[in-house]
Amino acid sequence: MKILVFCNPDGSIYSVRHTEKSPDETELAFYIPEGGFFIDLTGQKPFETMDILDIHNGYKADSNKKKLVKI
């Protein structure tokens, strides 16, 4: 299962998606907010069992390092 986090330019989380397959570039462009970015959390154990709402509400992205940090 892939876990993708789509973020606004300021690092706030726009959307979290669980998906079976990797989205293609067209799909990614649709999900990423203007000026934003995404982080692939696939294979990162703490996040694999976490509910997507817990990720969305409990974390913020560091836009320089492209990593999530707990709020």
Domain boundaries, the chain: 2-70
pLDDT band, very low/low/confident/very high, at 1 (cuts 50, 70, 90): confident
What whole-number distance in Å separates Cα of residue 14 and Cα of residue 35? 12
Structure confidence at residue 63 (pLDDT): 85
User: DSSP code of 41?
Assistant: -
What is the per-residue pLDDT across 15-70, written as a single tens digit (0 to 9) for each? 999 989 888 889 888 899 999 999 999 999 889 889 999 999 999 999 889 899 99
Structure confidence at residue 6 (pLDDT): 96
Structure confidence at residue 71 (pLDDT): 93
User: DSSP code of 33?
Assistant: P
Question: What is this structure's pTM?
Answer: 0.90
Q: Look up tokens 């959390």; give the residue.
A: 41
Where would I find the H helices in 1-41?
A: 25-31
